[in-house]
Amino acid sequence: MALLEGRKISKSFGGVQALSQVDFAVDPGTIVALIGPNGAGKTTLFNAVAGAFKPSSGRVVFDGRDITGQPADTVCRLGMARTFQVTRPFAAMTCLENIMVAAINRYPQKPRSFIEGFAREKLSLVGLADMERLEARHLNVVQKKRLEMARALGTDPKLLMLDEVLGGLNTQEIHQAVEFIRNLRDKLKLTVLWIEHVMGAVMQAAERVIVLDQGKVLMVGTPHEVVNDPRVIQAYLGE
C-alpha cells in the first residue's frame, strides 16, 4: 500500500486553477521526484498535502489515514515533514534550537538531555555540527537549506518532503547532495517526495518521477521513461 496517496486533488485561487484532479501515489521506502516547469503547481501540491491549506476538492491519504484539510501541525505529528522552497529558519534561534523545536514536539515527554543529543545527531548528519550555537540568521543559503533538512529530520518523519534543496549548488555539490539523500533514505528508512526544478539531478536519485504541467499530472514513470517522453520534453521546451 502506498504511504502517501493523492486522489483527484484540485485547488483554485480566485479564478485560477492551480491544480486539477491530481492523482499520485508514493510507495514506502522510495524516492519519488515531483518535477515540472515553473508554475506547474509543484509547491501548491506540496502545500495541499502538508496542510498549509485545504485542497478545493479531492482527498489526501497518508499512512492509511485520510488527512485531507488537516492542519500542518497535525500532519507533521503523523509523520510527514517538509522543507520550504524559500527557507524559513527560526532566524533568532541557534541551529541546535531550530532542530530542538522539531524534536520536542515529536517527543514531548523526553528529557532535555535526550532532545539535545537527538538534535545534535541530526545537525551533524547535515554537516552543521560545529555551528550548533550560531544563530540561524548567520547561515548562508546553502547552509539554511541543510538546516531545514535537519529540522525536518528532527521530527523523525516517515515521509520527508523536500522542496528544491539543490538551489545554489554546483554540479559536483549536486552530485554529493543526491548521494547524501539516497544514503539518508537507506539509513533512516525514509520515504522521500522531492520537488526539483532541475530535471537532471533528480533523475539520479529518484525511483519514480511524477511530472506536473499546468496543474495536471502529465505522466508518471521511471526516470528513464520520463526523460525520453516527448510530452515532457515539450513541456520543458515550451517554457
Partner 1 sequence: MLAISVMNGLVIGVIYALAALGVSLVVGIMNVVNFAHGELYILAGYFSYLFASALGMNFIAAMLIALALVFLLGIVIEVTLIRPTYGNDMYSLILTFILSIVLQNAYLLIFGPYPNKPPLWVKGAADVFGLFLYGNQRLAALIAGVAVIAVVFFIIKKTWFGRIIRATSQDREMAELNGVDTTRLNMLSFGLGCALAAAAGVILTPVFPVTPTAGVPVALTAFVVVVLGGMGSMWGCVVGGLLLGLVENLGAAFISTGYKNVFGFIILILVLLIRPSGLFGRAKV
Partner 2 sequence: MTGKKALLISMLILAGMCVLPLGLGIYPQHVLIVSLFYVMMASSWNLLAGYTGQVSFGHAAMAGIGAYASGILAAKAGINPWIGICLGTVLAALIGLGLGALCLKMGGIYLSLTTLAFSQILHIIIVNEYDLTRGTMGLQVPSLMAEYDKLVYYYIMLAAAVLILSILYRMIHSNLGLNFRAVQNDELAAKSLGVRVLQVRVLAFTVASAMAGFAGGLYGHYLLLVTPEIPSLDLQFYVLAMTVIGGMGSFIGPIIGAFALNILAEKIRDYGEYHVLVFGLIALVVARFAPNGLLGLWKKFKPIKPIQAVKQKAFPTP
Sign of CA dihedral 52, 53, 54, 57: negative
Q: Which is nearer to partner 1, 13 or 114 (CB)?
A: 13
Q: Cβ of residue 100: shortest distance to partner 2, in angstroms?
A: 6
Contact call for residues 129 and 123 (beta carbons, < 8 A): yes
CA distances from 186 to 29, 122, 157 (A): 8, 15, 14
**Where in 32-71 is the site for partner 1 (CB under 8 A)?**
53
Q: Cβ of residue 57: shortest distance to partner 1, in angstroms?
A: 16
Choose the contact partner of 219 out of partner 2, partner 1, none; CB within 5 to 8 A by kind.
none
Q: Cβ of residue 13: shortest distance to partner 1, in angstroms?
A: 8
Angle at CA 208, nearest 5°, toward 207 and 211?
145
- Which strands, in side-by-side order, build the sheet including 4-13? 16-26, 4-13, 57-62, 65-66
Integer Cα distance of 178 and 173 in angstroms: 9
Q: Which is nearer to partner 1, 73 or 130 (CB)?
A: 73
Choose the contact partner of 89 out of partner 1, partner 2, none; CB within 5 to 8 A by kind.
partner 2
* Per-residue exposure over 105-129, b if at least 16 CB sit within 10 Å of its own CB, e if not: ebeeeeeeeebbebbbebbebbebe
Q: Which is nearer to partner 2, 38 or 172 (CB)?
A: 172
Q: Cβ of residue 230: shortest distance to partner 1, in angstroms?
A: 31
Choose the contact partner of 25 out of partner 1, partner 2, none; CB within 5 to 8 A by kind.
none
| Residues that bind partner 2 in the complex, under the rule CB under 8 A | 50, 52, 71-73, 76-77, 81-82, 84, 88-93, 97, 100-102, 104-106, 108, 115, 125-127, 130-131, 134, 138, 142, 146, 151-152, 154-155, 169, 173, 176-177, 179-181, 183-184, 187
Q: Which is nearer to partner 2, 177 or 193 (CB)?
A: 177
Amino acid letter, residue 45: L
Helices (H) then strands (E): counts for the chain: 9, 10
Integer Cα distance of 130 and 207 in angstroms: 34
Say whether residue 236 binds partner 1 (CB under 8 A).
no
